[in-house]
Structures are given as C-alpha cells and as structure tokens.
Structure 1
Amino acid sequence: MLATIAIASTAALAAPVAGLLGYRQLKRAALAERLRITGAAGIDESGFVRIGGIDQWVSIRGEDRGNPVILEIHGGPGASNLPFLPRTRGWERHFTIVRWDMRGAGFTFANGPENQGALTLDQLQRDALEVTRYARERLGVDRLLLVANSFGTVLGLRLARNHPELYSAYVGTDQNVIDGGRERTAYDALVRRLRAAGKRKQLAAVLAMGVDRRARTTEQVDEYNKLVLTTDPLSYDTMKTVVVRSLWFSPLHTLRGLRSSMKAMHVSLALQSQAATIDERAEGTEFRIPFFVFQGDGDVLTPPEPARRLVDDVTAPVKDFALIRGASHFAGFRHPDQFLDLLLTKVRPAITGDLRPAGHGR
C-alpha cells in the first residue's frame, strides 16, 4: 500500500532538498548513533544473501541473540521497512528482528532494477521460505515469529497457514482482508467522505472503478489508494509525519537511495492487482499456530472491522485481536510502543509459555 507515498514524498521533500540538507545530515547522524548495537550478546549485520536466484538484502538486529526471532514481512508492495528502524529501535531490546527487502523493494531493487526476476506472489512466497531457512540456520532457531504489515499480510497469511513447522505465531498489522475482491468497507467509507466534501470529480472516478478490486487497472489502484489516504486527516498526517519523515531522515539511505525506493514502489505496483484475487476464507481459516491481528483504530485503508471479522472466523490454538489507539494505516510505526506492548503482553507469552507480566522499560 505504500506505492502511493512516492507521490506525496516528492512534494513534501522539495523544501528540505532546497534548504535543509545540513539539518538532514545532523539528524541522520543522531539516528545512526541511536541505532548502534554494541553489547556482546547483540547482533547487527546486513548484506546481500542469494535468495531465489538473485541477491536480496537481509538485515538482522537485536540486543540479545537469546530473544525470540521475528521475521518481518514488509508492505508496499515494494516498500522496505528499513526506514522505520529508528522508530522501532525499542523492539530490538526484546526480539531479534530479521528484516528482508523483497525483490522489487529497497536495497534489493537498488542492487539491480533490471535483474529482479519474476515479480509474482508465488515467487515472493518461495523467496520468503528461503529467507526463513537462512534465518533459522544463521541464528540457530527452529521457528520464527511472523510479523507482517500491510501488503506483507497477504504473504504472511499464506506462510503461517501452510508452514506451521517454521513459525511460532502470526502477527498481522494493517491486515489486508480482500475476500476475492468483495470486501467493501474501505470503499464505502471513501465514497461517503468524497460526497461529504463535495469532491465530485474524485467521487465519479471512484464510482467508475467500482468496489471489485479485481477489475481495477494498476493506475486505478494507485489513484484509489492515494484518495483513501489523503482524504482522511489522520492517515494524511501519518504519511507526512511518520512515512515521509522516516524516509527523509533514514540514516541508511542516501538521496539517490530515496529516489530508488520510490521507483521500487511504482515498479512493484502490479503485485496489488495479483493480490486483488485472493480470497482469505477460501484459502483457509484454520491455523495451527497462535494468530494475532493488531489494527489501527482509525485505519481507513485496511479498516479494523473486516480484520476483526477475519479473526473471529479463524481457528487457532490461541488468537486475539486488538486495536492500536490513535492510529491509521502504518499503525505499528506511528505507535511503536503500543505495538511492542501487544507483542510482549499477548504474543510473547503464547510463544514462550511464560505467562508472567512482561517487564519492558524503554
């Protein structure tokens, strides 16, 4: 879902490019210092790993290798989670986190835009399994905790459903519910907002698209997502203060790297059309691992109501649904402390068997 951020980012970054490069450098240096992991028990390594026949970027970070291991499945499509590292730094005190830039995203895309191979959901799923095997061997663990956000939840559900032997639990946030193109909660809410605002041209365009995602062109997908996010005040504020700021001040990304990241989002946009055909309930609602969804209470792109209904329909050894207060899409990145609280109080006990209250001073 982050593909549309590229358009907003270009405008929002025009002023800093013109006059605030010095401040950007100071801010990036401070964030880089904050990201340092120096303890003997910690791990901080990143680089290219041969996955699916191409070199793909994998980062592994955490303050204690004895902590549970998370595999993040990022959103977009084509949008790396690495720019959010400073915001999620606190998570690394309690978990070792494997962050993977999929083909068509982040540093993997920048390493060879012309050599990304097949950008299909099936290929991404095969890649994810290879990354899983690599992380298990590198860290010496049997299972990983799957944490998927936004577009990544499409892959995350399939991995959790089909490979319970590899994963200790599933956590979805900004959880997509597509229902074979039938889910219409976000669409109906957008129509109401456009009508209330008197935006006749945009309303006509949305009505012409129709509710069924399967019938939309990639250009219509891009236009629809942009309208959803920019017509909701909380979502638009999150785009500016969380997403764009994280991209702009990322200590890992040069200006050229930011341009590459935005291009990656557009190149990968066709994956959303593939995802529009998915029917989560038809693929199966039985999971043999603990199942959690933590959704922003104000998310208008992937609204909480369909996500809650999905959790209601799921059969799992343990399952739970929770709202992240004051959050739109990108809920875990807007309120990383709330998300961490949920990981520690709901998820970690389910995967470790430790039911004691979690101490997690930050």
Structure 2
Amino acid sequence: MKFIMKTVRILFLLIVGMWISSCTPKQRFAAFSERKIHHFEMVKIGDTKQAILINGKNPDNPVLLYLHGGPGFPMLPFVPFNESMKKLEQRFTIVYWEQRGTGKSFTNSLSSESMNVEQFVSDTREIVEYIREKMGVDKVFLWGHSWGSNLGAIYASRYPETLHAYISTGQSANPFLNERLAYEFVHERATLDNNSRALRQLSRIDTLPENYTISNALTLRKWVYRYGGIVYDSSHERPYVDLEEIRIILSSPVYPLVVRLNLLLNPYYSIETLWNDLMELNLFTEAPKIEVPVYFLVGRHDIIVSHVLAEKYFDELEAPEGKDIIWFENSAHRPFQEEKEKFHQVMDEIYDRHWTKNLTRKND
C-alpha cells in the first residue's frame, strides 16, 4: 500500500510539474542573456561530467566558487530567482557548480562508490584548477554553504595557495553532532509546547550513531523547520516542504524532462549514498587549520547546522592569516537570504580587504 501511495504521489507531482512547465513564461529566464558574463558548460571532473554556470558583470572582477548544500540540493534552477546572488554578481564572477549526483550532474552510470567525501574534495580541487586555467586567475574566493561548508573547509585546509579567502554560511563541523543538538532543541521546545505529536515522533528516533537513519533525519528536519531553526521567521503553520521550490525545479527550462523525473524519483540519491561518510565526518580533526583568511557568517538561530558547534569549531580553528565570525541575529540557516543587506555589507568588506587585480591575473 505504501508503495502504491508513493507511486501515486510521484505521478501526481510529475503531471503537475509538466503542466507548470507548459504554463511558465520562458521570458522569465531572459535575464541570463543580458549578463555580461554567462557561460554554461558540462565539464569532465573525475570520472563524470558535471555542470557549471558562470555568471558575472565584469570580467575583471574576482572569481567566487559557490559550494551548494544538501548534499544533492539542485542549484541551477534557482539562480535566476535569487536576488541575493544577482547582487553579489555585481562584485564577483560567480561559478555555480552542481556537484556529482546533483541536478544536471547526475547520470545513471554514476558509480555509487564514487559518492564519498574524499571524491567530492577531489572534485572541488579539479573544479578550482579548471576555473584558474579557464579564467586566467591564480586564486579564487571559496564560499561553502551547509554541506558545502564541509567541502570548503577541507579544501581550504589542504590547498590554501589557490584561495584569497574561505567564506562559509551554515558552517558544519560534525554532521552527526548537529543532528544530536537539533534533536535536543526540538525535544525541549516540544516539551514546553506540550506538542504530543512531535514528542511521539521523536521517541521513535534512535540517536545512537550506528542506528541513526536518513528517515530519522527527515523527521527531525520537519520539526526543526517548524521551530524556526532553518528559517528563523518561519510560521508554525508553514509547511516544511516548500511548494514554491518544487515548482521552480519542475518548471525550470534549465533541466530537461529526464533530469526533473530523476529529481522526483531519486530526491535523496546524494544523501543516501553519502550518508555513512557524512555521519563520520569531523572537521575538528579533518580540517583543524586553514591558512587563508576565514569568515564564518553564522545565523544566531541556526539549529539544523548548529550555531553552537560552528562557534566551537571557529574557536578551535587555527587560522594564521586571520579569522572572523559574523553573527546574523535575525537569521537561522540562510543569512544570505534572511538578512540580505547585512550579508552584502560583509561580502563588500571581504571584497575590499582581499581583492587586488595584481594578485589574481596570471598574465598581467
């Protein structure tokens, strides 16, 4: 019966997605062609082709590589709608990379054995080298968000010579401890609210590392969201599943039908294949020292990736080139969306502090 219901839901979403696609005005994506820099490419990275989109306003601007979250959250459909990113493109030439297994970087021939943290770090290394060669720069800025901050911190600790600075939002340090702290937060809030439904669902979660499952994590995320630990101003009545995000993905002309179908049928492919690696990851030992300037942009109310743990990692991190933690008091997991003005002020300061043309142009 569960299989039948799941199949019905998938078919319903697919039909709705195709209908939305047929009704979506294609001119909404015309902004792509108006950019001074707009380049899409499938690049052979490791053993598979991966998607990158490069957007910017001025070829003399510094290059910023964005490492998306998830793992496996699709990136490209949201670029035209992300006002915060559009503004950032005034200052930086941004490279949006869909990591292996995500969006256009998914293929049925992709080996599940290649879905491990070390391979993703290797992919990041290859992407950076490709960008440096293609765009004629010695260094790039690196911004990692959520899951991407794991990759970013490890990469920055190993290859500092390729970076101007490392920037993170939703900095992760130990994914399993994030889950434990999120569980404690929800349990405390649900107890205060006398939320019997939440407490009942929490009681079914086994928080021992060897028994903790993706299903547990998804249940927990629903309640973290409801209690403002993902989006700080989220209403208690707002559904955890963002229908607008689903609409954007399913109606995006960036993705052919086969990619949209895969996102419906395999929405958790990346996290399922990376799960064991993810639960064992510990940046306190994996990336204890970063020899480039480090900036943690942290939402004061981030629970899904614990702000407490991010601060502890920041305090213990060796950063001989300097480190700074910037708190966003009215944000949870996405300060670049929740406090756009402050986010851009911080990014402007980072730009002014670290960018000079003679440090990046190889041929000058």
Distance between the aligned counterparts of 1:76 and 1:164, measured in 2? Answer: 24
Q: Which amino acid aligns with 1:261?
A: L
- For residues 121 and 152 of structure 1, the distance between their equivalents in structure 2, rounded to whole angstroms, comes to 11
1:293-332 correspondence runs (5 A): 293-316=296-319, 317-332=321-336
Q: Distance in 2 between matches of 1:243 and 1:229?
A: 15
Say which is worse superposed, 289-298 or 67-76, in terms of deviation.
Answer: 289-298
1:81 aligns with 2:41: no
Q: Deviations over 1:289-330 (max 9, x none)?
A: 011111223322113232223222222212111233533323
Q: Residue 266 of structure 1 corresponds to which residue in structure 2?
A: 268
Kept in 2, the 8 Å contact 1:37–1:62? The answer is no
CA distance in 2, matches of 1:260, 1:339: 34
Aligned mate of 1:203, from 195, 199, 202: 199
- Which shifted more, 164-173 or 297-306? 297-306
User: How has the CA–CA distance of structure 1 residues 343 and 215 changed in structure 2, closer, same or farther, with 3 Å as cutoff?
Assistant: farther
Once the two structures are superposed, residues 183-215 of structure 1 have per-residue CA deviations (whole angstroms, 9 ceiling, x without a partner) of 743221111222234343542443453545554
In structure 2, the partner of 1:289 is 292
In the alignment, is residue 113 of structure 1 matched against residue 108 of structure 2?
yes
Distance 1:141 1:212, change over 3 A: farther
Give 1:171-182 correspondences, 5 Å limit.
Answer: 171-178=167-174, 181=177
> C-alpha deviations, 1:230-279, integer Å up to 9, x for none?
44373575863874465356452456544433445411122243212122
- Give 2:362's aligned residue: none
Q: What is the letter of the counterpart of residue 271 of structure 2? A: L
Residue by residue, what CA displacement relative to the aligned partner does 1:32-53 show, whole Å, maximum 9, x if unpaired? 1233344xxx321112111111
Unaligned runs of 5+ in 1: 1-6, 355-362
Partner of 2:92: 95
Name the structure 2 match of 1:55: 49
Distance 1:344 1:214 in 2: 44
Q: Which amino acid in structure 2 is aligned with residue 29 of structure 1? A: Q
CA RMSD of aligned residues (A): 3.2
Give the counterpart of 2:39 among 45, 69, 74: 45
Q: 1:59 to 1:214 in 2, by over 3 A?
A: farther
Give the % identical residues.
Answer: 23
Three-state SS of the structure 2 residue aligned to 1:172 is: strand
| Paired AA for residue 97 in structure 1 | I
Would you say 1:65 and 2:59 are equivalent positions?
Answer: yes
| Structure 1 contact 79–105 (Cα < 8 Å) conserved | yes
Greater mean deviation of Cα atoms: 112-121 or 57-66: 112-121
Instruction: Judge conservation of contact 2:52–2:96 (CA < 8 Å) in 1.
Output: yes
SS in 2 for 1:35: helix
Distance 1:56 1:23 in 2: 27
Unaligned runs of 5+ in 2: 1-5, 358-364
Q: How many equivalent pairs are there?
A: 337
